[in-house]
């Protein structure tokens, strides 16, 4: 076969294929024409490859067909656009949906911690049940404070980040059981309350709060968000509403795994505060102020960007073309 003659005969068709593939918007007739040209050009490419598979004509036709193929299958957005959409639309919308459950989890946590703190701090018998007098003094005077500075700040921040991110991921992923989240909330509230009670019994509550609040404001909020996400998945099983139970769990699970990924970033910031700010020589008001500023920035992000995205119909789920079919269809 004479490739030059073959190209001369079909050059207009190939040029038209390329023109339609690059056009921004196609009419119905142009879309049909594009499909017909794509099919005929595919046949031309097969014929050329049977004669000269490594020729320039073969490469040129392959490129034109690849360009046309994106018009049928849809081109994927680039990584930068996906990342921007995640942080500006999907994540804040998913977090906004959890505002009230997050506050409910936080309220329950604070109440449990307050009860334990008041009990341990006011009852010598309760204090002796959790620690001897020597152990309590050691904890208040050395162990609690040294915990934040006994390791290099960078490695300590990294260890705290990975540990807390793992706890948050567990709360989201295992929330469907309905048991894991209450257990995490109770055990952590109990630990914080006992620590506060030990310091209260020694008359050093100010020391405790000056070390726990700088990072704890954001860190505990992240735990509350993760707990709320887990409970939301559990509730999708209990009360799926008009959706099928499988569809409800799938939709809630996808949108709330978005929360788990976002909390990795939130806890990274919290870990930096715990590693570099909490043990720093800054005055207590400055350290607590930094922690409060981080928490305020989080809530501005959720209530401003999240509310806007939520009202626009976003829930943090994947886009329809990524999520796949929601019903069986033939």
pLDDT computed for residue 126 by the predictor: 92
Q: In which band, very low, low, confident or very high, does the pLDDT at 297 lie, cut at 50, 70 and 90?
A: very high
Q: Quote the percentage of the chain above a pLDDT of 70.
A: 93
> What gap in Å lies between CA 86 and CA 178, rounded to an integer?
28
> What gap in Å lies between CA 304 and CA 313, rounded to an integer?
15
Nearest CA to 198 out of 271, 249, 261, 135 is that of 135
> Rounded to 5 degrees, what angle do the CA atoms 279, 260, 111 make?
60
pLDDT at 325 over 50: no
In whole angstroms, how far apart are CA 49 and each of 11, 40, 154, 286?
Answer: 17, 14, 58, 72
The model's pLDDT over 40-97, given as tens digits with 9 standing for 90+, comes to 888 888 888 887 777 788 888 888 888 888 776 655 555 677 788 888 988 999 999 9
**Location of structure tokens 């709360």:** 171
pLDDT computed for residue 317 by the predictor: 60
Query: pTM for the complete prediction?
Result: 0.72
Q: Quote the percentage of the chain above a pLDDT of 90.
A: 39
Query: Which whole number is the average pLDDT over 105-122?
Result: 95
Domain coordinates in residue numbering, the chain? 3-73, 80-323
């Amino acid at each position: 076969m004479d490739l030059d003659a073959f190209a001369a005969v079909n050059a207009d068709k190939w040029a038209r294929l390329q023109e339609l593939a690059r056009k921004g918007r196609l009419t119905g007739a142009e879309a049909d024409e594009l499909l017909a040209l794509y099919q005929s050009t595919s046949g031309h490419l097969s014929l050329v490859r049977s004669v000269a598979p490594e020729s320039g004509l073969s490469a040129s036709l392959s490129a034109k067909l690849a360009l046309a193929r994106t018009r049928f299958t849809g081109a994927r957005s680039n990584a930068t656009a996906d990342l921007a959409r995640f942080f500006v639309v999907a994540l804040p919308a998913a977090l906004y949906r959890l505002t009230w459950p997050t506050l409910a989890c936080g309220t329950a946590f604070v109440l449990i911690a307050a009860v334990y703190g008041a009990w341990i701090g006011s009852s010598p018998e309760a204090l002796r049940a959790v620690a001897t007098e020597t152990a309590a003094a050691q904890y208040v005077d050395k162990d609690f404070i040294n915990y934040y500075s006994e390791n290099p700040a960078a490695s300590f921040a990294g260890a705290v980040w990975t540990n807390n991110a793992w706890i948050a991921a567990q709360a989201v992923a295992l929330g469907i059981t309905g048991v894991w989240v209450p257990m995490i909330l109770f055990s952590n509230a109990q630990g914080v309350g006992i620590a506060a009670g030990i310091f209260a019994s020694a008359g050093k509550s100010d020391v405790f709060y000056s070390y726990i609040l700088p990072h704890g404001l954001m860190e505990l909020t992240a735990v509350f968000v993760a707990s709320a996400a887990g409970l939301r998945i559990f509730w999708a099983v209990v009360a799926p509403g008009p959706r099928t139970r499988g569809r409800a769990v799938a939709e809630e699970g996808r949108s709330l795994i978005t929360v788990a990924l976002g909390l990795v970033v939130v806890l990274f910031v919290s870990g930096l505060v715990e590693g570099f700010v909490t043990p720093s020589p800054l005055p207590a008001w400055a350290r607590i102020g930094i922690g409060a500023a981080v928490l305020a920035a989080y809530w501005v992000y959720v209530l401003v960007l999240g509310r806007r995205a939520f009202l626009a119909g976003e829930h943090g789920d994947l886009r329809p073309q990524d999520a796949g079919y929601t019903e069986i269809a033939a």
